[in-house]
Amino acid sequence: MELTAPSGSESTNGELEQLYELLYLLPVGVVAFDSTGTVTRATPLSVQMMNPFVGSADMGNAFRLLAPLVPDLDRLLRANEGGTVVLANHRSTLEANDSIITVEVSVHRPRPGYFVAVMSDVSELVHREHELQRERDRIRLIVEMVREYAIYTIDRAGLIDSWNASGERLFGLTSTQAIGRSLDEVVSVEKLADVLHAATFAGWRRTEGWALSSPGDTFYTDTMISTLVDEIGEPEGFIIVTRDTTEMQRREEELRREADTDPLTELANRRGFDSRADRLLKACAVNDVPAAVLMIDIDHFKSVNDTHGHDGGDLVLCAVGAALAAHLRTIDLLARFGGEEFAVLMPGADLAAAAARAEVLRIAIAELAVEIPPDAVTGVTISLGAAEHHRSLHETLQRADVALYSAKNNGRNQVVCDRTQPQS
Amino acid sequence: MNFDDIDLYDRLLSLPDAQLEDTTFGVVAMDADHRVVMYNRTESTLSGLSPERVIGRHFFSEVAPCTNNFMVAQRFETESELDATIDYVFTLRMKPTPVRLRLLARPDAPRRFLIVQWS
Q: Say whether pLDDT at A12 is over 80.
A: no
Residue A140: predicted pLDDT: 86
**Using one digit for the tens of pLDDT, what is the confidence trace for A155-210?**
989 899 999 989 998 999 999 999 999 988 888 888 888 888 888 888 899 999 99
**Using one digit for the tens of pLDDT, what is the confidence trace for A262-290?**
999 999 999 999 999 999 999 999 999 99
Find, in chain A, the residue whose alpha carbon is nearest to that of B61: A25
Which residues from A are below 8 Å from B96, CB to CB? 39, 42, 47, 59-60, 65
**Using one digit for the tens of pLDDT, what is the confidence trace for A86-98?**
899 999 998 877 7
A340 catalytic? Reply is: yes
- Among A16, A43, A57, the residue with its CB nearest the CB of B91 is A43
Residue A1: predicted pLDDT: 47
**Using one digit for the tens of pLDDT, what is the confidence trace for A295-318?**
999 999 999 999 999 999 999 999
Distance of CA A371 to the CA centre of its chain: 54
Is residue A50 within 8 angstroms of chain B, CB to CB? no
Superfamily of domain B35-109: PAS domain (3.30.450.20)
Tell me the CA distances in angstroms from B74 to A48, A89, B70, B77, B109, one per residue in order: 14, 31, 5, 5, 19
Question: Cα angle vertex A319, ends A315, A324, to 5°?
Answer: 150
Q: Are strands A204-212 and A218-229 parallel, antiparallel or unpaired?
A: antiparallel
Residue A373: which pLDDT band, with cuts at 50, 70 and 90? confident
What single-letter amino acid sits at A286? V
Residue A10: predicted pLDDT: 52
Q: Is the pTM of the predicted complex or chain greater than 0.90? A: no
Residue B116: predicted pLDDT: 94
Domains in chain A, CATH or no CATH each: 10-125 (3.30.450.20), 146-248 (3.30.450.20), 260-417 (3.30.70.270)
- Among A20, A41, A57, the residue with its CB nearest the CB of B49 is A20
Q: Say whether pLDDT at A2 is over 50.
A: no
Q: How far apart are CA A353 and CA A332, in angstroms?
A: 13
